[in-house]
Amino acid sequence: MVIVGPVKGMRLIRQYMVRLIRAALWLAPFLGIASAQTPLTTIQDTLFSADGTRFKGSLIISWSTFDASGLGTVVQQSKTVPVINGNLYVQLAPNIAANPPANLYTVLYQSDGYQQYTETWTVPAIATPLVVSQVRLGSSVGNSMGGVSAGNTSTITEGAVTGLVNDLQQRPVKGASYSAGAVAIIDQNGQLEAAAGTPGSCVMVDGTTGPCGSSGPVFVDSEIPGGAVDGSNRIFTLQNSPDGNSLMLFRNGMYMLAGFDYSLTGSTIQFAAAADPQSGDTLVASYRLPRNNAASVVTGGSTSTGAQTLATPQILCSGAGSSTSATSATDLGGCTISGASLAAGNRIEIRFTFAHSGSTSGFSFETDWGSSPIFTRQAAAQDIAGTGTADAALPASGSQISAMLSYQTWGSTLPLSAGIQSAAAQSSVRVGFKAMLASAGTDTVSLASYTVLLYPAN
């Protein structure tokens, strides 16, 4: 027997009590005696791979900061839960009534070093363990929870989804007159409305409707300008004012060049001094009326049959081309036509004017239909311009374009020439304009203007 003194005995008792307290604190989580701890929800399940074997890997569970009822603030974090032989066991704070709403657990499944898939969980507060299918978003715990349901009962508001409200505001919305089965227009408020009109009406750019073709262009053909043809009179008048540079004026079948042979102001033609119409000459004018004046076209004339309304043409291309000083054929402009856009009976009209600058070299010009020239003309050095028209009549429909081609060309001194030929079928055709100089020097030849028109069959 060992006898100790009072002081030493008290010291031993204190050491013994400290050890007991430490042991109690260490065992408290396992014995369930930590009364201050808020219950967590347990998710316990057995997981399998697609081939029936037990899942081996880990679950990485992450969450954003949220306030859990009865627990307090749960800060943003993540945890990795190992899954051994398919066995999953994890305890999580309930987030089904979290603040802010829709704060979900993001669960990433990993196996063999790869991310397999991701899902989201909503975890209710419940004492009995749950399986994964009961916390996966969109599932329901059901009666086993005593009427408490999981994910699919939580309402997600539009404002809780980042950027959703702003994205929705960028989309056009229906206006008061919106209806299905009608042409949609955008009103002054940016809303979608239905175009108002009768079946068969056409919709204008501003959203109004009206009879189709009511605002289409009107062409006046073969009008004889008013004025004495006596060798001294230079001023002649048309019955209407032509639109833009659409006037084509002929004197004895020769095309008159605007700005050189004559000038046009409104409906008044004034010839240059060197181009005075002489007694016995025949003047013929063809032109297009402005769209906004088409309804007020003036008809009649000395020998004219009046204004003639034709099928509304489509301008395939129009403009001014480039210039060249080369002595080899140079492409100065044009456009490509697809056979899919054409039909039997269509007609394509080609108008062009080449301008020559300088007087030391002659020049040649041509218009091509695909890879073949419709014509090639050689003009002299004194020719200041070469001009003309060409037509392509399309006798058959389909994706292949076949055509009968005709042309008329002339220059300031170059005589009138005309011809006709057939063109083999092609899937698409480029209408091109080429020119070249006869000899090198300072002269230039340019494509002053060109227009390619499509006249649809009636």
Q: Are residues 258 and 373 in the same domain?
A: no
Q: Are residues 287 and 391 in the same domain?
A: no
Q: Are residues 280 and 327 in the same domain?
A: no
The kind and range of the H/E element at 28 are helix 6-31
User: What separation, in Å, do the N-terminal and C-terminal C-alpha atoms of the chain show?
Assistant: 132
- Is 208 domain-assigned? no
Alpha helices (H) along 61-196:
132-135, 164-169
- Is 266 domain-assigned? yes
Length of the chain as a residue count: 458
Give the three-class secondary structure for 395: coil
Q: Are residues 273 and 323 in the same domain?
A: no
Q: Are residues 318 and 451 in the same domain?
A: yes
The predicted structure's pLDDT at residue 222: 87
The kind and range of the H/E element at 434 are strand 428-437
Which of 98, 121, 153 terminates a domain? The answer is: 153
- For residue 322, give both structure tokens: 């480039």
* pLDDT tens-digit profile, the chain (458 residues): 555 566 566 776 777 776 776 665 555 555 544 444 457 899 999 999 888 899 999 999 999 888 887 788 889 999 999 999 999 999 999 988 776 666 789 999 998 887 778 899 999 888 899 999 999 985 444 333 333 344 444 567 777 788 888 888 888 888 888 888 788 888 877 888 888 776 667 877 777 776 665 455 678 888 999 999 988 899 999 998 888 788 999 998 888 988 889 999 989 999 998 888 998 899 999 998 876 554 445 554 333 334 444 456 778 888 899 999 999 999 999 888 876 667 777 888 999 999 999 999 999 999 999 888 999 999 999 999 999 999 988 876 555 677 888 999 999 999 999 999 888 877 778 899 999 999 999 999 999 999 988 887 76
d(C-alpha 442, C-alpha 325), whole Å? 7
Q: Are residues 432 and 405 in the same domain?
A: yes
- Is 196 domain-assigned? no
If one counts the domains in the chain, the total is 3
Give the three-class secondary structure for 48: strand
Q: Are residues 249 and 129 in the same domain?
A: no
Which of 296, 322, 346 terminates a domain? The answer is: 296
- Is 135 domain-assigned? yes
Tokens 């002053």 correspond to 448
Q: Are residues 228 and 336 in the same domain?
A: no
Q: Are residues 446 and 319 in the same domain?
A: yes
User: The CATH number of the domain where 324 resides is what?
Assistant: 2.60.120
- Is 194 domain-assigned? no
- Is 174 domain-assigned? no
The predicted structure's pLDDT at residue 297: 52
Q: Are residues 265 and 347 in the same domain?
A: no
Helices and strands, counts by H and E, the chain: 3, 30
Q: Are residues 328 and 360 in the same domain?
A: yes
Which of 105, 128, 153 terminates a domain? The answer is: 153
- Measured at the CA of 355, the angle between CA 353 and CA 360, to 5 degrees, comes to 145
Q: Are residues 351 and 270 in the same domain?
A: no
d(C-alpha 272, C-alpha 251), whole Å? 13
d(C-alpha 164, C-alpha 158), whole Å? 6
The predicted structure's pLDDT at residue 306: 40
Parallel, antiparallel or unpaired: strands 385-393 and 372-379 = unpaired
- Measured at the CA of 251, the angle between CA 246 and CA 256, to 5 degrees, comes to 45
The predicted structure's pLDDT at residue 142: 38
The predicted structure's pLDDT at residue 15: 73
The predicted structure's pLDDT at residue 50: 87
Amino acid at 296: S
- Is 425 domain-assigned? yes
- Is 74 domain-assigned? yes
Full residue range of the structural domain in which residue 134 is found:
41-153
